[in-house]
Structure 1
């Protein structure tokens, strides 16, 4: 099986930041990265230490969101430079991974 090296990236934001649509458009339309997925958390806390949780009685509109994507290391390096203007330092994580390229 043939594999290629990619860089995985996770971006941590909250719904209250109102950045999800802008970031997805940026990653899809402008940067055209591969494999973008957004996850909505049911609970979490950030630098404030204040917990954000979803419950049946009180649906919070400030829940944690994670945007995950991957692409070639060179492409991700460029995207990360551009992401610095969108997301606070310390809320973007990346690591090296392998992607299956088929036979």
Structure 2
């Protein structure tokens, strides 16, 4: 398992639910590429309403059902690993927004990890 604590970089890719890469959802391709690159993790979040560069509002409200709701793919890992992954996005993200933000990882643990792990400040987590 990847160990990740302290300073990190958060990569967020904002795109539309209907965006595809080779006939499959683009968000899924990004997650699979992140996994293959050995990044610490990736999560996909589906928005209920939003707009982007096109200025079209996409919403999940019943009267105006959208098939292109906002999607955010969030990846957190060390700065060198995230920056090394960016060229893979250049090939597949043609529309949308890609952002990078500094962050601090307080706890990164999977199922079955030791529950007595300490964080970056020496505090014991139960």
Query: Under TM normalisation by the shorter chain, which class is it?
Result: 0.7 to 0.9
User: RMSD of the alignment, in Å?
Assistant: 1.8
Aligned residues: 100
* Separation of aligned partners in 1, 2:56 and 2:105: 37
List alignment gaps of at least 5 residues for structure 1.
Answer: none
1:89 to 1:6, Cα distance in 2 relative to 1, 3 A: farther
Tell which deviates more after alignment, 83-92 or 36-45: 83-92
List alignment gaps of at least 5 residues for structure 2.
Answer: 21-25, 108-118
1:22 to 1:90, Cα distance in 2 relative to 1, 3 A: closer
TM-score normalized with structure 2 length = 0.71
Which residue of 1 is the match for residue 106 of structure 2?
Answer: 100
Please tell me whether residue 47 in structure 1 is matched to residue 53 in structure 2: yes
* Higher RCO (Cα < 8 Å, 6 or more apart): 1
Specify the SS of the correspondent of 2:91. coil
Which residue of 1 is the match for residue 11 of structure 2?
Answer: 9
TM-score normalized with structure 1 length = 0.85
- Structure number with the higher strand fraction is 1
Which residue of 1 is the match for residue 41 of structure 2?
Answer: 35
* Separation of aligned partners in 2, 1:63 and 1:45: 9
CA displacement 1:63-91 (0-9 Å, x = unmatched): 01000011011101101122111113761
1:14 to 1:59, Cα distance in 2 relative to 1, 3 A: same
Please tell me whether residue 24 in structure 1 is matched to residue 26 in structure 2: no
Which entry has the higher C-alpha Rg, 1 or 2? 2
* Separation of aligned partners in 1, 2:64 and 2:49: 13
